[in-house]
């Protein structure tokens, strides 16, 4: 199905309905955090990976496990530690019974939770990120394709930096979005407390089949994106490289590492998925603005001058959104 094909307006809402049912199932377990759930669904629709950042206790692991249950997908959780080896993730060949056999690692799942990914050294991070990029793993002289869908959700704690191995820019760029998971509101936290005290565990049902997901992905591909909005995505990303040329002289020298072309693609793909989840067959400028902070925050790095003025990557992205002309 192509964007030029004649698609009834209601078809998008109908195709997105199973995804909204997934939101409802997750809401049985997770209180609030609607933006986080929406980003997870965008990752699922676009077959992309997400980096989740938040302090412990914000139910990051719980929401990922619940997503897998609502999809009835094969789920795997990998706890990253300093002594982890690449073979512990992708698998290895073992000698038993007079012959070598291949034992596949936990990465061979449809939804993989890489818990505290920055706790493991670079060679282990690279093993996972190679699998993310290539969608396959080579063990010995054999190459094994990874299952589809294949979604890696990596978490990291923004506070504890002792004994961690921060992801380099080339590796964080492979994540479609970096989602900040914040504390709940007072009302949501009270609801969390009431649920915990009741000790009732809601039953999660499969509400999204693989066939329905594949249909939703085809419908998302048919969502129309105007040429001017494509230019807008390009302009936003290029403004990170030359703020002065984009008419934002105040940001000149404030961005040490600008966004790559992968960010342009992520903006367009993410905006299209956002529009689809809203039941629309077309992308609006607001769709781009909604997902832009999550797409760009890990792809641009403030300079020393920016840090001296307390300009974080989030603040820099907001300045870009305020000054780059909207079509």
Residue 45's pLDDT is 93
Q: What is the pLDDT of residue 163?
A: 60
**Pair 182, 239 in one domain:** no
Regarding whether 286 and 150 lie in a shared domain, the answer is no
- Kindly state whether residues 173 and 232 are assigned to the same domain: no
Query: What would you report as the CA-atom Rg of the chain, rounded to the nearest whole angstrom?
Result: 21
Estimate to the nearest angstrom the gap between the alpha carbon of 47 and the chain centroid: 9
User: Which of the listed residues 211, 242, 260 is the one where a domain comes to its end?
Assistant: 211
Looking at the structure, tell me whether residues 171 and 148 fall in a common domain: yes
In a domain, 23, yes or no: yes
The pLDDT of residue 10 is 85
CA distances for 162 relative to 45, 124, 166, angstroms: 35, 18, 10
The alpha carbon of residue 195 and the mean position of all alpha carbons in its chain are separated, in whole angstroms, by 28
Reported pTM: 0.89
Structural domain of residue 235, as residue ranges? 223-323
Query: Residue 127, Cβ neighbours under 10 Å: how many?
Result: 21
Q: Is 41 a domain residue? A: yes
Phi, psi of 291 (to 5 degrees): -95, -10
With respect to residue 147, please indicate whether it lies within any of the assigned structural domains. Answer: yes
Same domain, residue pair 133 and 272: no
Helices and strands: H and E segment counts in the chain: 13, 11
* CATH number (domain holding residue 298): 1.10.8.80
Both 198 and 297 in one domain: the answer is no
Claim to verify: residue 204 and residue 236 sit in the same structural domain: no
CB 118 within 8 A of CB 164: yes
Q: Which two tokens stand for residue 181?
A: 């998971």
Q: Are residues 249 and 309 in the same domain?
A: yes
Check if the beta carbon of residue 257 is closer than 8 Å to that of residue 169. yes
Joined together, the tokens standing for residue 42 give 């965008």
145 and 259 within one domain: no
Asked if residue 90 belongs to a domain, the reply is: yes
What is the pLDDT at residue 1?
Answer: 47
Query: Is the same domain home to 35 and 56?
Result: yes
Amino acid 6: pLDDT: 65
If you ran DSSP here, which 8-state letter would residue 15 be given? Answer: H
The count of domains in the chain is: 2
Which among 189, 211, 233 is the end of a domain?
211
For residue 273, tell me if it sits in a domain.
yes
What are the residue ranges of helices labelled H in the chain? Answer: 9-29, 34-46, 60-71, 87-90, 122-134, 169-172, 186-198, 210-221, 227-241, 261-277, 285-296, 304-308, 313-323
4 occurs within a structural domain: no
Task: Provide block-wise average pLDDT over 10 residues at a time, the chain (327 residues).
Answer: 60 90 89 89 93 83 88 90 89 81 89 89 83 86 88 82 72 90 89 86 87 93 95 95 89 90 95 94 95 94 89 92 90
Last residue of a domain, one of 211, 239, 254: 211
**Residues 158 and 35 placed together within one structural domain of the fold:** yes
Tokens of 106: 């936990």
Which pLDDT score is estimated for 241? Answer: 93
Q: What CATH number is attached to the domain comprising 62? A: 3.40.50.300
Alpha-carbon dihedral 220, 222, 228, 229, rounded to 10 degrees:
0
Residue 101: CB partners within 8 Å, gap ≥ 6?
Answer: 93, 94
Same domain, 283 and 235: yes
């Amino acid at each position: 199905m192509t964007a030029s094909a004649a698609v009834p307006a209601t078809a998008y809402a109908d195709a997105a309905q199973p995804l909204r049912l997934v939101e409802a199932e997750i809401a049985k377990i997770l209180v609030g955090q609607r933006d986080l759930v929406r980003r997870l669904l965008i990752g699922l629709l676009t077959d992309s990976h997400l980096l989740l950042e938040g302090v412990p206790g914000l139910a990051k692991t719980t929401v990922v496990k619940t997503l897998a249950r609502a999809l009835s997908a094969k789920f795997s959780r990998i706890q990253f530690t300093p002594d982890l080896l690449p073979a512990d993730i992708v698998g290895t060949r073992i000698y038993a019974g007079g012959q070598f056999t291949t034992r596949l690692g936990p990465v061979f799942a449809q939804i993989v939770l890489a818990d505290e990914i920055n706790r493991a050294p670079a060679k282990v991070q690279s093993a996972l990120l190679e699998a993310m990029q290539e969608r396959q793993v080579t063990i010995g002289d054999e190459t094994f394709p990874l299952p589809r869908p294949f979604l890696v959700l990596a978490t990291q704690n923004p506070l504890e930096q002792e004994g961690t191995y921060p992801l380099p820019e080339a590796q964080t760029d492979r994540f479609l979005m970096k989602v900040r998971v914040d504390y709940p509101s007072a009302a949501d936290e009270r609801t969390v407390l009431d649920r915990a005290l009741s000790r009732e565990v809601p039953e999660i049902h499969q509400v999204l089949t693989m066939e329905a997901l594949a249909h939703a992905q085809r419908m998302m591909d048919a969502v129309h994106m105007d040429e001017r909005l494509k230019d807008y995505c390009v302009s936003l990303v290029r403004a990170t490289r030359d703020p002065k040329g984009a008419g934002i002289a105040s940001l000149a020298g404030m961005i040490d590492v600008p966004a790559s072309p992968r960010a342009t693609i992520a903006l367009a793909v993410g905006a299209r998925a956002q529009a689809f989840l809203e039941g629309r067959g077309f992308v609006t400028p607001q769709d781009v603005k909604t997902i832009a902070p999550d797409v760009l925050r890990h792809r641009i790095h403030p300079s020393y001058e920016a840090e001296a003025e307390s300009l974080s990557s989030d603040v820099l992205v907001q300045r870009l959104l305020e000054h780059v002309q909207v079509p």
